[in-house]
Amino acid sequence: MQVTETLNEGLKRGYNIVVSAAELDAKVNEKLVEAQPEIEMKGFRKGKVPMALLKKQFGQRLLGEAMQETIDGAMNKHFEDSGDRPALQPEVKMTNEDWKEGDDVEVSMSYEALPAIPEVDMSDIALEKLVVKADDAAIDEALGNLAETAQDFKARRKGSKAKDGDQVVMDFVGKVDGEAFEGGSAEDYPLVLGSNSFIPGFEEQLVGVKAEEEKDVTVTFPEEYGAEHLAGKEAVFTCTIKEVKEPVAAEINDELAKKFGAEDLAALKAQIAERLEAEYAGASRAVMKRGLLDALDVKVSFDLPPSLVEAEAKQIAHQLWHEDNPEVHDHNHGEIEATEEHTKLAERRVRLGLLLAELGQKAEVEVTDAEMTQAILSQARQYPGQERQFFEFVQKNPQMQQQLRAPIFEDKVVDHIVAQAKVTEKEISKEDLQKALEELDAE
Mean pLDDT, the chain, rounded, equals 90
Taking 80 as the threshold, does the pLDDT of residue 1 lie above it? no
Q: What angle do CA 292, 297, 299 make, to 5 degrees?
A: 90
pLDDT band at 250 (very low <50, low <70, confident <90, very high): confident
Taking 80 as the threshold, does the pLDDT of residue 51 lie above it? no
Secondary structure class of 109 (helix, strand, coil): strand
% of the chain exceeding 90 in pLDDT:
63
Integer Cα distance of 270 and 290 in angstroms: 30
Integer Cα distance of 420 and 121 in angstroms: 9
pLDDT of residue 202: 96
Integer Cα distance of 260 and 30 in angstroms: 72
> 138-196: per-residue pLDDT in tens?
999 999 888 888 888 999 999 999 999 999 999 999 999 999 998 899 999 999 999 99
Q: DSSP for 131-163?
A: E----HHHHHHHHHHHHHHT-EEEEPPTTPPP-
Is residue 207 within 8 A of residue 191, CB to CB? The reply is no
Is residue 10 within 8 A of residue 110, CB to CB? The reply is no
